[in-house]
Structure formats: C-alpha cells, structure tokens
Amino acid sequence: MTMCILTVDDSRTMRDMLRLALAGDEFEVVQAVDGLDGLEVLGRNEPDVIITDINMPNLDGFGFIEGVRRTERHRSTPILVLTTESDSVKKQRARDSGATGWIVKPFDPVKLIDAIRRVAA
Amino acid sequence: MDPMEAIKATFFQECDELLGDLEAGLLTLETGDGDLETVNAVFRAVHSVKGGAGAFGLEPLVRFAHVFETTMDMVRSGALAPDPDVIKVLLRAADHLADHVSVAKGNDTALGGEDGLVAELEALSSGAGTGDAPVPSIAAAANDEPDFGFSPMMISIDDGPDEAPAGVPDWSVSFTPKDVMYRNANDALPLMRELTRLGPVVVSCDVDQVPLLDALDPLGAYLTWNVILTAPDVARERILDVFEFVDGDCLFSVEPVQAELPDLSFVLPDLEPLIPTAPDEPEPALLAEPALAPIDAAAPPAVAAAAPAAAAAAGAADAPSADGRASEAAAPTIRVDLDRVDRLIDLVGELVINQAMLAQRVMESGVARSSNIALGLDDLEQLTREIQDSVMAIRAQPVKSVFQRMPRLAREVAAMTGKRVRLVTEGEGTEVDKTVIERLAEPLTHMLRNSIDHGLETPEERRAVGKPEEGVVKLAAMHRSGRIVIEISDDGKGINRERVREIAIKRGLIEADASLSDEEIDNLIFAPGFSTAATISDVSGRGVGMDVVKRSIQALGGRITIVSKPGHGSTFTMSLPLTLAVLDGMVVTVGEQTLVVPITAIVESLQPKPGDIQALGPEGHVLSVRGAYVPLIDVSESMGWTSPDLTGPGVTLLVESGTGGLAALRVDAIQGQRQVVIKSLELNYQQVEGIAAATILGDGRVALILDVDALISLRKRTAPPPSFQLAIAS
C-alpha cells in the first residue's frame, strides 16, 4: 500500500531532498513550505506520516505539531521532526508538543525510511 | 542531470535568496526597525544555509555557518543585544558566508581572514554569556551538536551489558508504555514489528494492570509487553534503536536471556497475525468501536491480539484511495527551460506583428471602422497585447536580485573611502525582464560606487556643513509608462561644476569660452574623454567610468539623466525598456528593403527641402537642421545597395548616437512605429556592420534592424576628414 508522507520544510533544497529520498512506489509525497501551509495542506490530505522542520517562518515546527495534535483527525498521525537542532531541551519541547520521533539533519535516506517505518501504523 | 546535482543547483539558488534575506534582515536590525520576527528570519537564513550545506558535505561552509548561527542564536534568545557594533560584525559575517557559498559553487577559490571573524563572533557569543542567561561556550555548543552524518541520540536505558555474552542466544525485551507515548502517536505495534525484523520473536502481553471496565481510561496505558527475541548476532544497540523515539515515554529494559523462558501468561507463537495489512474480517472487539479504535488500539486489555487488527482495519477503511488524494500540494512555482519561454515570446511577438499587418490590410481594403470585422480586429489586438504582456511576465523578475548585491558593495566602498553610508532601497519588487536584469548589475555597481566615492563627503566634511555624518544613498526602482526607471540619489555635495568645466576644457571637450548651461556641464561627466585620464581620478566631480555607464545603458536601449544641486546631492535617473526581446522600432523602406530603426535612437523625423541638403567634399552630404549642420547618411548607400541619390523624394530621421553625436538617416519612406521581436543575426548568420539584429515581419519577410551607432562611425571612417567633422560638430 502506498504510504502518504507530508513533509513540511521552508527550505526548497530540503524539500527536494526529501522528495528524492522518498521517490518510488512506496511513498506518495505531499509538501508544505511552513507550519501554516502544513496545516492547510493537512486539511486536504490524509498523510500516514508527517515529517516537519522546526525553524520555519509563519508557524514553526512546535506550533505546527501542536496544531496537528489539536485536530481530532490527526491525533494519532505519527509526526517525525527533521531538524539540525539536537539539544535535549528542544527535543523535549518537540515531544511535549506531540512529536512522535526525530531525525537529525542531514539525514540518511535509508535511516529516514527506517524511521518512517518505525512510526507508521 | 543527476538528481543530487539538480538539488544542489536549487540549493545554491536558495542560498542566494537566503543570503539576500540575511543581509536585508541585518540592515533592518541596524536601523532599529527590526522586531523579533526579523531576528528569527536572520537566524533561519543562516540555519538553512547550514542545513543544506551539511547535506552536500560542504564542511568549511557548515563550520563557519555554525559559528555564525551560534551567535545569531544568542541574539534570538535575547542574550545578545543587536546593537550597531554587533550588527557590523554580523554583516561582515554575512558577507563572509556569501563568500563561502561562492567558493562552494566553485566561483571563487580562496577565502582569507576567517579566523579573525570567527574569533569576533565567538567573542560576541561568549561575551553574551556574562549577561542574564548563562550560555554554554561555543566549543561546548559545537560538541553538543552532531552535524555530520545521521546521528540518532543514543539512549542509555539501563546498565545491561552491551554485547550478548557468548552462548546466550536470545534477548528479553520488556516494554511498558506510558500514556504519553500513545499521545505522541507512537504505538506498540510498529515497535514489535521492527523487532521481528531483527529475528524471530515470541511476544507476550502482561495485562495485570488493566483495570475493570468502569475504571478504564481509554487514553490510558496499562499493558506491558514482553518479547523474547532470538537474534544472537544482533547487538543491543540495534534493539535500543528501535525504541529510540519512545525513550522516556515508556519503561523499558533489554536483557540477555540466561536460561529458560519466563513464565508467560499470554503467549503469542508468532507476531505475524499482529501485522495484517487488511484482514478480511476484523474480529469484533471491544475496542473496535470507531471512537476508540484509532486513538489507542493497543492499550486496552483482553483484546491485545484483536485490537491491532481492528485498528489496521479501521486504518484501511479510513485511508482514502491513492488517486483520491491530491498528489501534490499546490506548488507556487514551476521550473521551465528558458528556451521554451523564449520560443513562446518569439511566437507571441510574431503574433503581435501579424495582427498589426492584418489590421492594416483590412483597413486598406476599405472596410468601415465600425464594421464587425474592424471591431473583431480591435478585440483581437487587445487580446494579443494581453497575451504578450502575460508571456513577457513569465520572464519578469523583481530587480531585487540586483539590488540585493548593493548593500554589500556600499559597505565595501564606504570602508575603502572612510565614509559613512546608509543605503536605502525602494521598489525592489519592481519587475523587469530577465534579459535586462542580467545587464543591469554592471552599470548599477558603477553608479553606486561613484555616488559614494565622488558624491558623498567624508564624515568630517559633512559635519562641517551641518549635515549628519552618515550620508544617505537611495536606490529606487519604479515602472513609468512602459519602462523601468531606476534612480540613484545621494545627499552629498553635488557636482562641482567649476572643476568639471576646467577638466573639460583641459581635455579639449569644450572651448574655453563656451557658454554652457548647468545641465550641459553636468552631462559632460558622461563624455568619453572626461574620465579616461588617470590624473582626474581624485577629482571632486564624478568622472570615473560614467561614459562606460552611459554606453551600457544605451546598449540596453535606455537613457540616463542627471539632476544635481550643489551642496544637496545628485540624482541619476536611468530609464530602460522592460525587455530586450522586443523593441519599439520605426519601420522604414529603403529601396526594396524594409528596415527597422530603434525608436530610442530617433530624435525626430524630417522631410528636407531640396536646399537643406548640401554636398560636402567629394562624397559627403550634410543636412541643415534649424541652422545647424548634421552629417547625412544615406542608408541605401551605407548598406551598399545603391549610390547616393539625394535628389529624389525621401525622408530623414534625425538620430542620436550613443556618444551624443547627431546624424540624419535618409530613407525612402516611413511605414510607421511598431514593436518588433529581436532575432540575433549573429547567431543565425554572422555579424554585419551597421546591422544590430533582425526581425520577422508579419508577411514572413526578414527585416534588418539598423545599428545607428555603427552607421555613424562607419560614415566617419569613410567620409570627410576629421578636421572637417569637428567644425560641424557643435
């Protein structure tokens, strides 16, 4: 079954890399450019897993995750945080917001897919 | 192209934007207008450059960006105030970051002077540490952050041995989720599934903690999972990795199994039934009720085996079919090969011409203006124009891409000349065709440098005349009647007309007793002879390179004017076409040929009376225009078609060359003004002297576009001697 992945990142480079990493029959990729856009895209799509950056304009990753979790429909949609931030305070904050897991940039495509599998229902 | 190469190209493109944002943000902060969002945007810009650079292994860039980012983080957290001194260092860091990107692109090779800058940045961030918030040192922060490679955070969960002791075949994993784990959308099922990938498992579920139904919190967590994993070769880390995301959200242990299996109260022989993709008939289960199932299917008791199946079924039912989804979030842009756009622009240009020809033919056939055909043609014309505008808009870009290089230049020139400058930009969003943008950078650079170097006074001089020490240079872009107007103005001392006059006389550009208006004197700085001599480089006027500027503006089909007010500054105004793909031309007939003369070169058109044309020397002719004589160029003769016949009927176009010299072009007839699509003659044939380019007319014929400058200099070389030329120049 094709899995739908929503990626939220303000960097075009990163969006392109995520799309490339997930290219293939296994995943269908939907993209958003920041937290606000992410919530909007989420309104039109049913992703199986969400991957989001933290540092973004308009609505950052923390706010986005909280927004997703406030939506009844997405309370149990796994959210992976993809970030260069690795300090434990930020990680804890992400988790407190409702993040399911995290991946440190730059990511390895294999590990990324591993992480998706690890959280996907 | 290799997809990674394509992404790398995108990255560099993005870098340019980010660097522009970075600089703009810092400049905003410098003026004190910045807010928290400005600081955040600046931080994000550095952060994103670093992130992308990390992905491509551009380590020097990442290292520098990291130090920069750390300092920006201090500003972001409020530990470091963005005062002017701090911003100065940050601006230099931004410039240096741009250099790093340039090196990474392969445009530059060497980078120097980084150590000092790094030390300054580090001093800023460590100095900030003495403030309110305790701040870790750079070194600690750097060590804290594993930037290279994928480095999952290792979790030390218990004290068990790291390696399976020899002879111990199995691992015993005990796993008790807390409710927070489910709230963050982690689930026991995928974790168990991951374990099965490591080796055969025996899973049991301890349901002792499950309360009675009336005390059951559907969002609570009550289960403990025990797993025996038969995978002797699997290191303990691999198992810990599986549980990486739930560290802290569960109780968890991994032990090597020493002897027999623990007494399992609820043994599942195989996990397979737990991970069906879509079971035909989900077992009716307590928790298969829709309200509960998707939330926390694995937690409730008694139905441990059935619940995940139900959840999976629910999931399968919920998931819309793949084609039901929008396959892509609405993309704000598409990337198109420039050739395709150019082709489209060509075609639309031909459409415009064709439409004009059609209209002309219809009118010639005597159809009434109010007839249906004529009205239809009017609509068609309207539509074609709109299509043309829309197509041209595809290639239009905001001038921002050129403007954003200017602040850095301003800083560099200011530093070199010891002046204080604030560069203000306006109308950065004004759009111009890509072809124009690309050629705008050079003249702009030149003019900005001139404004600071020659226009602005030193801080001392400014203080002496009661001006603020910091000079202001304004760069503004706007659309005005189908053209783009770019203004560079300064609040400096204005043009020193006395000196300009002196120099012009010394250079032989004007007679010592010539009477010139202020405007004429100001315009002397564009004269070719004015700036070439090295001895005037220290002059207070604005000589250096302005002739070059004027020429490149004219090459773009543009004009440049000056307004200067002594003591108050100068304003240079450039007026440019919005595109180089089409040209406003005067279509003329010469013999059997149709030619196009660029409108920008034409001053006026004249129908000379026989007495106005006078022979001069064996072959030359001059035209009398209101008492002055200008060289007359017979286009047909210049093109080598006929020998001059100046007795017949004909019209002349008074044209101005790039250097300001006037000449009259003689043609047989003027057909009218029209927009034409420019085609390169050089690319399709070869360079021809006197011809700038070609175009295709509505009837499919090729028409040549005259190069007025070349025609004038061609005539100078072949006709009267220079001494004679000078006599008629004024």
How confident is the model over B559-604, as pLDDT tens digits? 888 888 888 999 999 888 887 777 888 999 988 889 999 888 888 8
Q: Is the peptide bond before A106 cis (omega within 30 degrees of 0)?
A: yes
Q: What is the pLDDT of residue B543?
A: 42
Q: Cβ separation of A13 and B55 shorter than 8 Å?
A: yes
Taking contacts as CB-CB distances below 8 angstroms, the residues of chain A near B45 are none
Q: Cβ separation of A16 and B7 shorter than 8 Å?
A: yes
Name the phi and psi angles at B598, rounded to 5: -60, 130
Least confident of A40-54, B64-78, B636-650: B636-650
Helices of type H across B247-320: 306-318
Q: How far apart are CA B354 and CA B213, in angstroms?
A: 83
Q: Cβ separation of B294 and A76 shorter than 8 Å?
A: yes
Q: Is the pLDDT of residue B301 over 50?
A: no
Taking contacts as CB-CB distances below 8 angstroms, the residues of chain B near A111 are 150, 152
Q: What is the pLDDT of residue B621?
A: 84
**Closest-CA residue of chain A to B298:** A121
Least confident of A94-98, B213-217, B443-447: B213-217
Q: Which residue has the higher pLDDT, B314 or B518?
A: B518
The answer to whether B514 and B503 are in contact (CB under 8 A) is no
Q: How far apart are CA B619 and CA B718, in angstroms?
A: 9
- Token output for B711: 């025609």
Least confident of A101-105, B545-549, B722-726: B722-726
Q: Is the pLDDT of residue B724 over 60?
A: no
Taking contacts as CB-CB distances below 8 angstroms, the residues of chain B near A95 are 184, 248-249
Q: Cβ separation of A55 and B47 shorter than 8 Å?
A: yes
Q: Cβ separation of B194 and A118 shorter than 8 Å?
A: yes
Q: Cβ separation of A106 and B51 shorter than 8 Å?
A: yes
To the nearest whole Å, the CA of B295 is away from the closest chain A CA by: 6
Q: How far apart are CA B505 and CA B726, in angstroms?
A: 15
- Token output for A20: 């490339």
B516: CB partners within 8 A, 6+ apart: B501, B510, B524
Tell me how long chain B is: 730
Q: Is the pLDDT of residue A8 over 90?
A: yes
pLDDT classification of B645: cutoffs 50, 70, 90: low
Taking contacts as CB-CB distances below 8 angstroms, the residues of chain B near A63 are none
Over residues B484-497, mean pLDDT:
90
Least confident of A48-52, A76-80, B189-193: B189-193
The answer to whether B701 and B594 are in contact (CB under 8 A) is yes
The answer to whether B702 and B695 are in contact (CB under 8 A) is yes
- Token output for A111: 């590990």
Taking contacts as CB-CB distances below 8 angstroms, the residues of chain A near B294 are 75-76
**Among the listed residues B70, B4, B152, the one whose alpha carbon sits nearest the alpha carbon of residue A107:** B152
Q: Cβ separation of A98 and B144 shorter than 8 Å?
A: no
Nearest to B187 among A4, A87, A121 (CB): A121
Q: Which residue has the higher pLDDT, B580 or B325?
A: B580
Nearest to A98 among B44, B184, B242 (CB): B184
Q: Is the pLDDT of residue B544 over 60?
A: no
pLDDT classification of B355: cutoffs 50, 70, 90: confident
- Token output for B516: 């010139």
A46: CB partners within 8 A, 6+ apart: A4, B318, B319, B320, B325
B247: CB partners within 8 A, 6+ apart: B153, B155, B157
Q: Is the pLDDT of residue B475 over 90?
A: yes
The answer, for A102 touching chain B at a CB cutoff of 8 Å, is yes
Nearest to A118 among B149, B245, B277 (CB): B245
Q: What is the pLDDT of residue B312?
A: 42
Q: Which residues of B25-45 are buried (b: 16+ CB within 10 A; e: fewer)?
A: bbbbbbeeebeeebbbbbbbb
Q: What is the dihedral of CA B277, B278, B281, B287, to 10 degrees?
A: 80
Taking contacts as CB-CB distances below 8 angstroms, the residues of chain B near A1 are 277-278, 316, 319
Q: Is the pLDDT of residue B473 over 70?
A: yes
Q: What is the pLDDT of residue B71?
A: 86
What ipTM is given for this predicted complex?
0.82
Q: Cβ separation of B151 and A31 shorter than 8 Å?
A: no
Over residues B102-112, mean pLDDT:
75
Q: How far apart are CA B627 and CA B185, in angstroms?
A: 90
Q: What is the pLDDT of residue B476?
A: 94
Taking contacts as CB-CB distances below 8 angstroms, the residues of chain A near B13 are 12
Q: What is the pLDDT of residue B488?
A: 94
Helices of type H across B302-371: 306-318, 338-364
Per residue in B460-471, pLDDT (tens digit) is 999 999 999 899
Q: Is the pLDDT of residue B340 over 60?
A: yes
Q: What is the pLDDT of residue B408?
A: 84
Tell me how long chain A is: 121
Give the highest mean pLDDT range of A80-89, B247-256, B399-408.
Answer: B399-408
Q: How far apart are CA A89 and CA A51, in angstroms?
A: 20
Q: What is the pLDDT of residue B477?
A: 93
pLDDT classification of A13: cutoffs 50, 70, 90: confident
pLDDT classification of B728: cutoffs 50, 70, 90: very low
pLDDT classification of B326: cutoffs 50, 70, 90: very low
To the nearest whole Å, the CA of B194 is away from the closest chain A CA by: 6
- Token output for B262: 């623990």
Greatest C-alpha distance within chain A: 37
The answer, for A32 touching chain B at a CB cutoff of 8 Å, is yes
**What are B170's strand-pairing partners?**
B230
Per residue in B625-639, pLDDT (tens digit) is 888 888 888 888 888
Across all residues in chain B, what is the average pLDDT? 75
Over residues B33-62, mean pLDDT:
85
Question: How many other CB atoms sit within 10 Å of the CB of residue B201?
Answer: 21
Q: What is the dihedral of CA A5, A7, A13, A19, to 10 degrees?
A: 10
Side chain identity at residue A69, one-letter code: R
**Closest-CA residue of chain A to B243:** A118
Taking contacts as CB-CB distances below 8 angstroms, the residues of chain A near B179 are none
Over its C-alpha atoms, chain A yields an Rg (Å, rounded) of: 13
Per residue in A59-97, pLDDT (tens digit) is 888 899 988 888 888 888 899 998 876 677 778 888 888
Q: Cβ separation of A98 and B185 shorter than 8 Å?
A: yes
First to last CA, chain B: 59
CB-count exposure of residue B142 (10 Å: 0-12, 13-18, 19+):
middle
pLDDT classification of B719: cutoffs 50, 70, 90: low
Q: What is the pLDDT of residue A52?
A: 92
Helix (H, G, I), strand (E, B) or coil at B235: coil
Over residues B344-350, mean pLDDT:
82
Q: Cβ separation of B145 and A118 shorter than 8 Å?
A: no
Q: Is the pLDDT of residue B284 over 50?
A: no
The answer to whether B138 and B67 are in contact (CB under 8 A) is yes
Q: Is the pLDDT of residue B105 over 50?
A: yes
Taking contacts as CB-CB distances below 8 angstroms, the residues of chain A near B151 are 86, 104
Over its C-alpha atoms, chain B yields an Rg (Å, rounded) of: 38
Size of interface A-B (CB pairs under 8 A): 160
Whose tokens are 């090459």? That residue is B555
Q: How far apart are CA B168 and CA B324, in angstroms?
A: 51
Helix (H, G, I), strand (E, B) or coil at B518: helix
The answer to whether B46 and A55 are in contact (CB under 8 A) is no
- Token output for B669: 């007839």
The answer to whether B36 and B44 are in contact (CB under 8 A) is no
Q: What is the pLDDT of residue B595?
A: 93
Q: Cβ separation of A119 and B186 shorter than 8 Å?
A: yes
The reply to whether the predicted model has a pTM over 0.90 is: no
Q: What is the pLDDT of residue B644?
A: 61
The answer to whether A10 and B44 are in contact (CB under 8 A) is yes
Q: Which residue has the higher pLDDT, B537 or B615?
A: B615
B13: CB partners within 8 A, 6+ apart: A12
Across all residues in chain A, what is the average pLDDT? 86
Helix (H, G, I), strand (E, B) or coil at A4: strand
**Closest-CA residue of chain B to A27:** B322
Give which of B14, B237, B238, B245 to mutate to test A binding, by max A Cβ within 10 Å.
B245
Q: What is the pLDDT of residue B287?
A: 42
**Closest-CA residue of chain B to A45:** B325
Over residues B180-198, mean pLDDT:
80
Over residues B660-673, mean pLDDT:
85
Taking contacts as CB-CB distances below 8 angstroms, the residues of chain A near B50 are 84
Q: What is the pLDDT of residue B487?
A: 93
pLDDT classification of B267: cutoffs 50, 70, 90: very low
Over residues B61-72, mean pLDDT:
86
**Closest-CA residue of chain A to B191:** A118
Q: How far apart are CA B531 and CA B506, in angstroms?
A: 12
